Amino acid sequence: MFSNLTLSSILVIVVVLLFSTALHEIMHGYVALKLGDDLAYSQGRLTLNPIKHIDPILTIAMPLFFMLAGMSPIFAAKPVPINPNRVSGHEDGMALIAIAGPLTNFFLAALAAVILRNVDLGGFLLEFMVRFLQINVGLFIFNLLPIPPIDGSRVLYAFAPPSVQRVMERIEGFGIFAVIIIISVLLPVIGPVLTNANQTVIRFLLGF
């Protein structure tokens, strides 16, 4: 997906990533707002302005680290701030906020698939829509991983027993560095699983 890229391909990937990750975070904040927490809204995070969602470590340094290590890059935007004490539904509410981001990427990927299946595209438009589909499926799958603090872990947390929740809380204390370490160690196992999952979802959306 990221090999032998031309300058135009790189620009397409950057634009799609900025838009898709921004909308991902906006939906986290929007659902939080509907559930009683206006923190993200009050800090101006419910916007498509990419500058508001860029994090020096998550959006720039982390992808570079993985690429320099010879691995597929992992992209992430700056998480929107959430005040759990204001969220109605407590753990269930937090799970809804968490799943809103990945589901947004799935919806965007499904929209791209509908266009690819029904519109005769070519050249730049075809490449743009294919990249749009691939990237949003990738964001959807990656964010479902049950590794704290990834979105999937918050969904798992809502249904996990207290003993598992305590372990997850300890891991979440390390922030995104826990994700980098765990994925780096388990890459031989996680890598093929993510690749197969991405391909399966893409085939499903395209109707193959």
Give 7-44 pLDDT, tens digit per residue. 888 889 889 989 999 999 999 999 999 999 999 999 99
Q: Is 96 exposed, middle or buried (0-12, 13-18, 19+ CB in 10 A)?
A: buried
Whole-angstrom distance, CA of residue 159 vs CA of residue 18: 32
Token pair, residue 103, equals: 């589901």
Q: Which helix (H) or strand (E) holds 112?
A: helix 91-118
Q: Choose the catalytic residue: 25, 127, 169, 172.
A: 25
Whole-angstrom distance, CA of residue 124 vs CA of residue 72: 24
Q: Higher model confidence: residue 2 or residue 117? A: 117
Q: What is the pLDDT, as a whole number, of residue 66?
A: 67
Whole-angstrom distance, CA of residue 44 vs CA of residue 27: 13
Q: Scan for tokens 């031309």, then name that residue.
A: 6
Whole-angstrom distance, CA of residue 118 vs CA of residue 195: 26
Nearest to 17 by CA among 67, 57, 55, 59: 59
pLDDT tens for residues 48-71?
A: 998 899 888 777 777 777 666 666
pLDDT at 2 over 60: no
What mean pLDDT, rounded, does the chain reach? Answer: 89
Q: What is the CA radius of gyration of the chain?
A: 17
How far is C-alpha 159 from the chain's CA centre?
A: 21
pLDDT bracket for residue 80 (50, 70, 90): very high
Q: What is the pLDDT, as a whole number, of residue 4?
A: 64
Alpha-carbon distance values, 125 to 49, 131, 207 (Å): 23, 10, 20
Whole-angstrom distance, CA of residue 110 vs CA of residue 20: 13
pLDDT tens for residues 181-202?
A: 887 788 788 888 888 999 999 9
Look at residue 34 and give its three-state secondary structure: helix
pLDDT tens for residues 154-163?
A: 999 999 999 9
Residue 25 is a catalytic residue:
yes
Whole-angstrom distance, CA of residue 133 vs CA of residue 176: 25
Look at residue 155 and give its three-state secondary structure: helix
pLDDT tens for residues 82-115?
A: 999 999 998 999 999 999 999 999 999 999 999 9
